[in-house]
Amino acid sequence: MKTKAGINKPWGGRFTEKTSPAAESFSASIHFDMRLYRYDIAGSKAHAKMLARIGLLSGAEVEQILDGLAAIETEIESNTFVFRPELEDIHMNIEKALVEKVGAAGEKLHTARSRNDQVALDMRLYLRDESHHLLALLAELQKGFVALAREYFGVIMPGYTHLQRAQPVLLSHHLLAYYEMFARDKARLSDCLQRINVLPLGSGALAGTSLPIDRDFVARELGFPLVSANSMDAVSDRDFMVEFLAACGLIQIHLSRFSEELVLWSSQEFNFVEIADRFCTGSSIMPQKKNPDIPELVRGKSGRVIGNLMALLTVLKGLPMSYNRDLQEDKEPVFDSADTVSRSLAVMVELLSGLSFNREILGHATERGFITATDLAEYLVRKNIPFRQAHAIVGQAVAYCIANKKELTALSLEELRTFSETVAEDVYEILGVEGSVNSRAAAGGTASTAVMQALTKAETDLGI
């Protein structure tokens, strides 16, 4: 039915006024949900086949619909399709175009479905693809860390707590810490996929349908192992999006943490690593500058990804059952986080291949800061001195070193014995950084044997 203003809306039968231009502009989502076209068409094709299967479409009608949808998809991909904002969203744009192409058969396509379950389907299909894409990028990033750990195996550096030199560790051990972080990110995304991979189509607006639909058939067509159990929940559930955004947030935070270390380590104060020129920029006024812009941008983009999670949680906070138009606000945060994290991972994969660690400077950095003090305390423990007493003894030795501008390794045996008579000549085996590192051989430790075991397992797990 046409409204008084002569505008044909798919839902306009009971309306007598033209939609306000301000309201139409404010409520339109086509400018961002057009990217769902591929998923909307895939869902429509599966739905059409199901309608034919249960006798609500003839064979000729379903063929018309499938051909029409394929033609629309080709037009969108070739940038010849004209999106119409007055049709509000991707669903109505595609449906209207289909009707214009195939006539009455196209008007039957929306039988037994609502935009409510349709958009839920589209987002699940979209996030399924995005999750697999991010999983592949995470695996490539892990390979980058593993390759660096292999290349620099044996290089010792200071490990830090509170950004103060703490204990010596293998650089490979430090790099593999990020391998573990991103392994957890992969596990989270894989787990999230179980909740994403549920078919909502068939739930209708909120109460299901009286028509004899075959949801299991549609699920098989679209590769869903599960069908939603409650129609009201299915059209209003956005938990899977929140989970995806939370997983994205942690990925970006992990990228940000490594970026922070690159910013610090590439400074002249550290000079632990050189970032390839192709990932840096200069200054418009200071000719000598080489700025680590890519790590800084990756670090900075964590704010928007965290913000997107907060935005969706806030949208959901006060919503009653079931579908509410507020849920239109779910897509932009999801799209933005998926794009941001994908781009950040991709550029970091490339950046890793352009890192060059300064072996000599890393080695010199372990020569100061009393970083084998804990080893001396543990040495005393093995001499049957209680740890708290050993801790105090070594603390006194460090204070002596500070006062006399010496390192622990520079103290003579006589000087060391003034703090504890149990100290013997074998103490120098553990005061050196190599002895310190290789003494930590328990699973998960920084000893060469433990790190090599972890590195080999990582390479096996990644298939490299």
Which one of the listed residues 78, 162, 210, 412 is annotated catalytic? 162
The pLDDT assigned to 15 comes to 77
Contact status, residue 127 vs residue 241, Cβ threshold 8 Å: yes
Contact status, residue 138 vs residue 342, Cβ threshold 8 Å: no
Kindly state the DSSP code that residue 158 receives in the 8-state scheme.
E
DSSP string, 19-61: PPHHHHHHH--HHHHGGGHHHHHHHHHHHHHHHHHTTSS-HHH
In tens, the pLDDT along 391-405 reads 999 999 999 999 999
The pLDDT assigned to 11 comes to 64
- Reported as type and span, the H/E element at residue 226 is strand 226-227
Low-confidence ranges of the chain (pLDDT < 70): 1-9, 11-12
Q: Is 322 an annotated catalytic residue?
A: no
CB atoms within 10 A of CB 136: 12
Scan for tokens 């059209």, then name that residue. Answer: 235
The pLDDT assigned to 6 comes to 42
Which one of the listed residues 20, 58, 267, 283 is annotated catalytic? 283
What tokens appear for 242 in the block?
């929140």
pTM for this prediction = 0.93
Cis peptide before 342 (omega within 30 of 0): no
Q: How far apart are the first and last CA of the chain?
A: 63
Q: Is 47 an annotated catalytic residue?
A: no
In tens, the pLDDT along 328-351 reads 999 999 999 999 999 999 999 999
**How many CA atoms lie less than 13 Å away from 164 in the CB half-sphere?**
5
